[in-house]
Structure 1
């Protein structure tokens, strides 16, 4: 009988003395921490596990490519870019490393492979900025591998999780350039290390009983069992020892079993309230984004760069999962107008004005992309125009002083303005201004984005 009582105390936190206020605080913290892992898993499930999903891209350790840029039909991730056709590889690194081949590229075309772990940290990059356009062969190794660097390999890159994502972006100059991009994409290759070395591979890692994502998985306590599940592929980081000890008080973390129904009604309410409390933290960061106090460059990067700022990692995953680290791209969000009013094209039209020589300095290109405020996806329109970008600078109309004004509205503007028009939905929207390989003035903040002026 004594052992049963002890077991009850371990498995029922309401009996182990946790207060409702502690449960609420821990639930908020664990929700902010776990949200990126959960939405990342949802993408992995759709792209590499569920063969019936419209977003299925192929099995683990194989590169698959979208043959065109993203359109409103693409729903695999919120706030996708439509400048660079994507290629994808989900890597299972449990049995052995994966070898990625990057093809050689002409010097003026930007291409990149962003490497993302299960926490959504950008742990490394391949491509233009990181290694130049000469291509090469790279070994991506999980936390348990300690072999030598094989001959012909540029570098071995390690990740702290046993699964990782490679997200490739290849610059498209114009619609006629698509065949060239598709040819480049065919040169992205991934294979297990044994295959690359022409040696027998180690035994395959055991199969995984992958949980099916639920609709409320990222918005309720149903996320916590999934976070616990994912920890088996994420060896605990020593920097998080105290944090995980706190989470364990709510049965969240490595080796834990979270069963919401086993908590007392009071603790259940506290957990739900804690998750809702994350909205206030999100609002604080959004205010700083809207006043340009922080940028996307603060939200995405390596674990070392983010320095355990789980709130920023959460906001990054919520606004634009798989955003680039700032050295590869900076994203300037337009969520409010110059008067700090929410953007709504059913109530107003807008103008974005760049004085002569005031476009952002960059070593690749820039773009302004439109998103529906409700779905966070690209906006269907009669022109099939989802963005305006610098590869089309010669097609725009300019002011007599050399300035450039871009027009954002639901209704079609006068014919003279149509080349500079970005169509908006008939309601709430937001825009993202991306600068790829940003110049120093963009990186150090001395270049300021112009405000979106209501007309």
Structure 2
């Protein structure tokens, strides 16, 4: 069945009348379900964002219909709940791209050299297949064509670069650096210069036939934690032609009813079959929790390991799952480095109801980044920004002139719930009265970050323990 035939049948994907092709034994099914859950979770999480941003016009998080650009010209605050672990340094723009009928052309305006911006191009697998912007194409702007896997045409002369997506649905996620509140109007002007149009319109040719209409299934509560996930995975796979490196994997998935564009109907499964799927999902979650504790929290595995191209991830679906679970749509290592502060220097989970903390950078050892760095605070319970009397959600490199240096030239930040002494409040990053985590982002990290030569400082609890 070709892709267009699959897509005409997408409305059947959630049908309850068709039988799932489930041929695996219960023991086999448990192991396969674990694999399929790790593989499929990022794609289904991506679908949830797609639905709320591009399909459900009544959603408070709706941005723009497919193949149109939506801009968010604001800095995130504690009142924003659409994204977990939001980035408060770079207002976003969004394009959900439907590449079935023809490619799209993204036009970027020239912007000033000292301002960072990027366009992260993400396929339906949540792989970062390419970038535009400061690092990759410069700040001079240009016209860039994004084509899906089925397009067979020639690159027009007026196109600066052709970029290929492995899937017919893809995401363009723009980040435009915001210097401070007074800079917001300038960011809005830059966003007005971001344009998207079909290739036929760009070159002045007749538009091809429209792609078949899709009946987008509404996400269900809890769908990412149960076998319901496999129903939506089948739906998403219809937009992503099978890659040669995954054909054996997809053949195994087929034995538990996972196949592109096909129905996946839980009501047709036996009790043993359904339990095998649920147990496989539980196994996958347990493996992730152990992996996070042993390797992510201890910084043996970095964000740069979890996000990137297919070649970068090399089939490591646990890594791809971890990235989507902790902060979906994260940047590739060469674009940005994320350092998570989940535990203190003693390996204990950080909790501002129990301790105040300090984070100390030696003189000359601030985070090395060619663009900028930023440390952002998040509530450990809901993964959102933390309301506080200063309305300060981060400390970044542009704030350095207003920070107080130590007598030896180093920099100490105070991470705590209640305000420190008045002369230290310039260096205070307010934390919630309970569990929290911080994310240190380095945009365009320097080579010493990637090589491991630069050593991140650790959070130090201030003793005695708070009562």
What is the TM-score of this pair, normalised by structure 1?
A: 0.95
Separation of aligned partners in 2, 1:75 and 1:383:
19
Separation of aligned partners in 2, 1:73 and 1:91:
28
Separation of aligned partners in 2, 1:109 and 1:21:
55
SS at match of 1:114: strand
Displacement of 1:379 after TM fit? 1.4
What's 2:446 paired with?
439
What's 2:202 paired with?
196
Stretch moving more, 70-79 or 145-154: 70-79
Correspondent of 2:361 among 354, 361, 366: 354
Aligned residues: 444
SS at match of 1:149: coil
Separation of aligned partners in 1, 2:126 and 2:347:
30
Q: Deviations over 1:12-45 (max 9, x none)?
A: 667x4x3222111111111110000011010010
What's 2:130 paired with?
124
**Residues 1:157 and 2:163 aligned together:** yes
What's 1:89 paired with?
95
Structure 1: which 5+ residue stretches go unaligned?
A: 1-9
**Residues 1:238 and 2:247 aligned together:** no
Q: Deviations over 1:289-338 (max 9, x none)?
A: 12221100000000111011111000000001110001010000011111
1:376-455 equivalence runs, <5 A: 376-455=383-462
Task: Tell which has more relative contact order, 1 or 2 (C-alpha 8 A, sep 6+).
Answer: 2
Contact 2:20 2:265 in 1 (8 A): no
1:47-446 equivalence runs, <5 A: 47-286=53-292, 287-446=294-453
Separation of aligned partners in 2, 1:182 and 1:402:
37
Separation of aligned partners in 1, 2:350 and 2:374:
19
Contact 1:328 1:437 in 2 (8 A): yes
Separation of aligned partners in 1, 2:284 and 2:79:
30
Structure 2: which 5+ residue stretches go unaligned?
A: 1-17, 463-467
What's 1:28 paired with?
34
Contact 1:105 1:135 in 2 (8 A): yes
Separation of aligned partners in 1, 2:362 and 2:375:
16
Displacement of 1:445 after TM fit? 1.0
Displacement of 1:11 after TM fit? 4.4
SS at match of 2:375: strand
Separation of aligned partners in 2, 1:163 and 1:63:
15
Separation of aligned partners in 1, 2:432 and 2:267:
42
Separation of aligned partners in 1, 2:98 and 2:263:
24
Q: Deviations over 1:340-388 (max 9, x none)?
A: 1111111111110001001121110000001111211111222111110
Separation of aligned partners in 1, 2:385 and 2:311:
32
RMSD value, Cα = 1.3
Separation of aligned partners in 2, 1:273 and 1:335:
28
CA 1:197–1:12: 2 relative to 1, 3 Å? closer
Separation of aligned partners in 2, 1:442 and 1:280:
30
SS at match of 1:282: helix
